[in-house]
Structure 1
Amino acid sequence: MKVKFYKYQGTGNDFVMIDNRQNIFPKNDTKLIEKLCDRRFGIGADGLILLENDNSTDFKMVYYNSDGNESSMCGNGGRCLVAFAKKMNVINNETTFIATDGLHHATISENGIVSLQMKDVDQVNIHTDYVFLNTGSPHHVTLIDDLEHFDVATNGAKIRYSDLYGKAGSNVNFVKQMDVQDSKQSNHFAVRTYERGVEDETLSCGTGVAAVAIAMNAIGKTIANKIELDVQGGKLEVSFEKNNGVYTNVHLIGPATFVFEGEIEL
């Protein structure tokens, strides 16, 4: 059976998109999904996303990591799926859709910038040398001085597989504060992320930069509620509101770009 696919990327975080509104894709075939995401034997991607029907929203997002396993929320994937849904004429410039972590609202501009509302965050665990929180996926956040030369793959794996997070593991974000003012604050950070399920550094992680923005606010590195984030694949923004320690109206903002389309034999 041949299946049509579409390739999208959001600041270098790339995804295979498949329109599964007719329920034709073998969703439980882990090996197949892993093969499609393989950069040598398949299409190549950090993950695979299915666009499916939903009775109460515009569509449903089903996300798989490149290891073939269905996973938690992917922010850049969600933004790319919004762009894909527009290409498929499922939506116009605004949408509401359902994902594994609940309801999401999003808008897409004419130049392809997608603003995706993420889940509220009511718990930020601050430790001596790291912060842990969940923005739809679990994230470990720690500050690093020499981020440019840091071995993200090795050190990220150590934390991801450590006793801190058990079998489920966590995504791991390494952060450098940029443009520091006299107040030792700024609204600009650089981020590199080790993603579980990919088991390597990715060029960008949407739930990761959302976690970094909130974490940096929580520990007083910034008082801003709109944060600029440099990732390996480009630039993203995260905005939020903070009330009594609860982060609401969290938006992940950045480009979602169509790359190519094709057919592949399953």
Structure 2
Amino acid sequence: MRVPFIKMHGLGNDFVVLDARVDDVPELTGETVRRLADRFTGIGCDQLILLAPSADADFAMRIFNHDGGEVGACGNATRAVAMLHGKEARIATAGGLLLASPTQGGASVDMGVPRFDWEAIPLAYPMDTLSMPVAWDMLENPGAVNVGNPHVIFFADDTDAVPLDRLGPEIENDPLFPERVNVNVATIVAPDHIRLRVWERGAGLTLACGTGACATAVHAMRRRLVEPKVTVTLPGGDLRIEWSEGGSIRMTGPATESFRGSFEWADYA
């Protein structure tokens, strides 16, 4: 059977979207996801997104990383599917309910309330997540935030000088993080501006990570390094993040539909 897809991206973080609300989509397996995500023999993407009906929301969104593993949240994908939906939406995810509204050229998303307890990250043992007494080479004393998926955040004088392609996978798979972790390295440019690079769990170096931008901004705000409204500049472009302590995170930024097509399911099953 042929299955339609929509190729989209948010600041270069790209997705293959399958819409089971309107199309017949067989049960996904990790192997099918990996084959579709392959940039040489498949469609190619950082994440595969499956939309489905929901009894508790306007629709449900499942998120699969390039390696086939399912995750709870993806900020860039949320903006993309909000733009695709075309109106305000309540989106059910494994990481919780998200509220999204399309904007000119993108969307604004209520990403929910961040969690800071060590069990919520999760970490392997109790630790202060505001300043963790751990280090990997020049990266030390990070913070940790869960925004639907786990993030560890480091500050550096120059994020571009950090060998994230080497340290990213080492930190991602460290036993301290039993569910692995997304690795963020940030530079504070000004009280309203952060530069950020992200090693994404299950996907690797990425041009943009919406939940990483949220987690990094929130951690910088908790450390009183930036204001409650900041621009986060990633290799793919800018996101606007707003947060007040105890409240939800608001993320605003662009999303783009690249093209549409279809594929033969049996070729990737």
> Structures share a fold, TM > 0.5?
yes
- What does the per-residue CA deviation read over 1:150-195, in whole Å, with 9 as the maximum and x for residues that have no partner? 22121111111112213x210000001113xxxxxx1200000001
| Distance in 1 between residues matched to 2:19 and 2:171, nearest whole Å | 36
Match of 1:249, SS state, is coil
RMSD: 1.4
Q: How big is the shift at 1:208? A: 0.5
Q: How big is the shift at 1:68? A: 1.4
Match of 1:141, SS state, is strand
The aligned amino acid for 2:211 is: T
Aligned residue in 1 for 2:225? 221
Confirm whether residue 204 of structure 1 aligns to residue 208 of structure 2: yes
Confirm whether residue 146 of structure 1 aligns to residue 158 of structure 2: yes
The aligned amino acid for 1:14 is: D
Give the number of aligned pairs.
246
Q: How big is the shift at 1:24? A: 2.7
1:115 to 93, 105, 108: 108
Moved more, 134-143 or 13-22: 13-22
Percent of matched pairs sharing the same residue: 32
The aligned amino acid for 1:251 is: R
Aligned residue in 2 for 1:35? 35
Q: How big is the shift at 1:22? A: 5.2
Contact 2:106 2:253 in 1 (8 A): yes
1:191 to 189, 196, 216: 196
Normalising by the residue count of structure 1, what TM-score does the alignment of the two structures yield?
0.88
The structure-2 alpha-carbon separation of the partners of 1:22 and 1:257, relative to structure 1 and needing over 3 Å to count, comes to closer
5+ long unaligned stretches in structure 2: 118-128, 134-140
Aligned residue in 2 for 1:254? 253
Match of 2:69, SS state, is coil
5+ long unaligned stretches in structure 1: 87-91, 180-185
Aligned residue in 1 for 2:136? none
Match of 2:248, SS state, is strand
Contact 2:60 2:93 in 1 (8 A): yes
Q: How big is the shift at 1:27? A: 2.9
Q: How big is the shift at 1:85? A: 2.0
The aligned amino acid for 1:123 is: F
Contact 2:153 2:184 in 1 (8 A): yes
Contact 1:101 1:119 in 2 (8 A): no
| Distance in 1 between residues matched to 2:254 and 2:82, nearest whole Å | 11
Aligned residue in 1 for 2:126? none
Normalising by the residue count of structure 2, what TM-score does the alignment of the two structures yield?
0.87
Q: How big is the shift at 1:147? A: 1.5
